[in-house]
Structure 1
Amino acid sequence: MAVDFENEIKHLRTTMGSVREVTDLGRLESQISELETKVSAPDLWDDQEVAQQVTSALSRAKAEHDRVTGMDTRVDDLEALVELGTEENDAETLVEAEKELGRVRRAVEQLEVRTLLNGEYDEREAVVTIRAGAGGVDAADFAEMLMRMYLRWAERHGYPTAVLDTSYAEEAGLKSATFEVKAPYAFGHLAVEAGTHRLVRISPFDNQGRRQTSFAAVEVVPLIESTDSIEIPENDLKIDVFRSSGPGGQSVNTTDSAVRMTHLPTGTVVSMQNEKSQIQNRAAALRVLQSRLLLLKKAEEDAARKEMAGDVKASWGEQMRSYVLHPYQMVKDLRTNHEVGSTSAVLDGEIDDFIEAGIRWKRAREKSEDRA
């Protein structure tokens, strides 16, 4: 069937019109101009923290602007390619135009999803914590599989990551792990991954080769910024220090450099052991604790935010996504019904389609709640 290029391009332009309206290029250009003025100030780097905030904001604003204007250019180029192929009756050019149409359509869809990330903290970097749930050693192994999946996803996009804490299980896998994804909108994208994940497979740890169901919980919180007002009185903190441990409980540090920080009023606990010194681990633990308390504070202010990371139970009946490796191969999101058969690709970090479907589902649900 011949491709209806005219309607396809018309649809792309309509979508890009919505993207431009949401992005507000005029506002973005004014913001870029203001930030460029600040960056050119000779005393900018007298305060390195402020300087980094300004330069990062400028980089994000320019990237957002170029992303939209660059896509407009790609649609224009696609239209020119179609016109050339049609006028010359060149089949090869039209085949190339059809391929480019697919690429542009996909890119516009991704850009449209980005415009849906307009929540208060969506622009933030993310702190992700994965905990093994029900299922014994298989659950610990699954937690490690999920950590690798998210780190691979970040790697595919060129997003820097930093592992803050890993608590290894005795036999295999992880009891828990915490890491940062240091990229704009990391929280907006990964927030929809929060919840209970379920794995069904033939257990490699069962000598009778039986099928095993196991669970792991994923928590995602926005990374705090210096402008966030989360002050924690010293009396509200209990700080314990201990020696870092590696796989199987083996000691990997001869000094008490690992830190466990407990926020007494809420019972929130954060452990850090991946930095080299106790001071660094304390700073990292405080940063993550503040991030979690920030989200708790937001939940108290906004009753509509019902799905808090601390509510994830990681057990049967609570799952939001299933990874089935036996008796068939399928990964299915139980909220959006998006599913794929290539489990190995998903576990290797190809989760963009799940994330995009989750973002659309989340925004549709929020609109429905607003109308109610």
Structure 2
Amino acid sequence: MAVDFPNEIKNLRTTMASVREVLDLEKLKKQIVDLEEQSAAPDLWDDPDAAQKITSALSRANAEKDRVENMDAAIDDLEVLVEMGTEENDADTLAEAERELKKLQKAVGELEVRTLLNGEFDEREAVVTIRAGAGGVDAADFAEMLMRMYLRWAERHGYPTKVMDTSYAEEAGLKSVTFEVNVPYAFGNLSVEAGTHRLVRISPFDNQGRRQTSFAAVEVVPLIETTDTIEIPENELKIDVFRSSGPGGQSVNTTDSAVRMTHIPTGTVVSMQNEKSQIQNRAAALRVMQSRLLLLKKQEEDAQKKELAGDIKASWGDQMRSYVLHPYQMVKDLRTEYEVGNTSGVFDGDIDGFMEAGIRWKRAAARGAE
């Protein structure tokens, strides 16, 4: 069936018009001029933290502007290519145009999804915590599989990550893990991953080779920033110190450097053991605690608890995504109905399709509630 190039190009231009409207290119260009003036100040690096924020914001703004302008130019080039192929009745040129069209449809779709990330915290970096749920050793192993999946996703995109705390299970896998994804819009993208994940497979830990269902919970919160005002009185915090441990409970530290911090009024608990000293672990734990309390505060203010984080139980009846490895292979999101059969690819970090579908679903649900 021949491709309807005029209609497809028209659709691309319509989407890009919507993208430009949301991004407000003129406002973005003014922002770039302002940031360039700030970055040219002779005393810029007197405050390294502030300087880093200014230069990073300038880099992001320029990248956003270039991405839109380059996409518009690419659509123009595609139109010229189609005209050449049509006028000369050149099948090779039209085949090349079809390949370019597919690339552009994917790229414009990704850019459109970015415009949907306009929530209060969507631009933030993210703190992700994965906890093993029901299912014993299989659940602990599943938690470790999910950690690798998200870290591989970040690696595929060149996003820096930092593992903050790891609690190993006795036999295999993880009881829990907490890590940061340090890139703008990490929270916007990863927030749709929050919830209960379910794994169905032949258990490698069952000597009778029976099928096992196990669960893991994924929590995503936006990373605290210095401009956020979350003060926690000392008397609201209980702090315990202990020795860091490795796989199977093996001690890997001879000093009490690990920190467990409990916020007494809410019962929120944060553990941190991957830094070298107790002081560093305490600072990292406080940062994550502030991030969680910030989100909790906003959830209470806006009555959006389910939308932002939800009540994640990691057991039957709560799952938002199923990973089935037996008797067939499929990963399916139960909210969006998005599914793929390449389970190994998913566990290797190929999850952009799930995130895009989740972001569109979340946005549609928010519009429906307005």
TM-score range, shorter chain: over 0.9
Distance in 2, matches of 1:289 and 1:297, equals 12
Distance in 2, matches of 1:293 and 1:110, equals 31
Distance in 2, matches of 1:204 and 1:275, equals 33
SS state at 1:306 partner? helix
Distance in 2, matches of 1:256 and 1:73, equals 58
Name the residue aligned to 1:18: 18
Structure 2 unmatched runs, 5+: none
2:191/2:308 contact within 8 Å kept: no
Q: What's the CA shift string for 1:14-72, capped at 9, x where partnerless?
A: 00000000000000000010001000000011111111111111111111111111111
Name the residue aligned to 1:128: 128
Structure-to-structure mapping, 1:226-245, within 5 angstroms: 226-245=226-245
Structure-to-structure mapping, 1:114-153, within 5 angstroms: 114-153=114-153
Letter in 1 for 2:158: G
* CA RMSD, 1 decimal: 0.9
Letter in 1 for 2:195: G
Structure 1 unmatched runs, 5+: none
Point out the more displaced range, 80-89 or 336-345: 80-89
Asked whether 1:83 is paired with 2:122, we answer: no
Distance in 1, matches of 2:359 and 2:315, equals 24
Name the residue aligned to 1:357: 357
Distance in 2, matches of 1:226 and 1:59, equals 20
Letter in 1 for 2:362: K
SS state at 2:306 partner? coil
Letter in 2 for 1:119: G
Name the residue aligned to 1:251: 251
Q: What's the CA shift string for 1:149-176, capped at 9, x where partnerless?
A: 0000001111000000000000000000
Q: What's the CA shift string for 1:105-147, capped at 9, x where partnerless?
A: 0000010000000000000000000000000000000000000
SS state at 1:118 partner? coil
SS state at 1:32 partner? helix
Deviation at 1:307, TM superposition (A): 4.2
Name the residue aligned to 1:176: 176
Letter in 1 for 2:288: V
Name the residue aligned to 1:306: 306
TM-score, normalization: structure 1?
Answer: 0.98
2:195/2:310 contact within 8 Å kept: no
* Change beyond 3 A, Cα 1:174–1:153: same
Name the residue aligned to 1:329: 329
Structure 1 residue runs of 4+, over 6 Å off? none
Q: What's the CA shift string for 1:210-246, capped at 9, x where partnerless?
A: 0000000000000011000111111111111111000
Letter in 2 for 1:45: W
Letter in 2 for 1:362: K
Q: What's the CA shift string for 1:176-233, capped at 9, x where partnerless?
A: 0000001110000000000000000000000000000000000000001100011111
Deviation at 1:88, TM superposition (A): 2.3
Asked whether 1:284 is paired with 2:258, we answer: no
Q: What's the CA shift string for 1:298-318, capped at 9, x where partnerless?
A: 101101342454620000000
Distance in 2, matches of 1:359 and 1:257, equals 39
1:218/1:309 contact within 8 Å kept: no
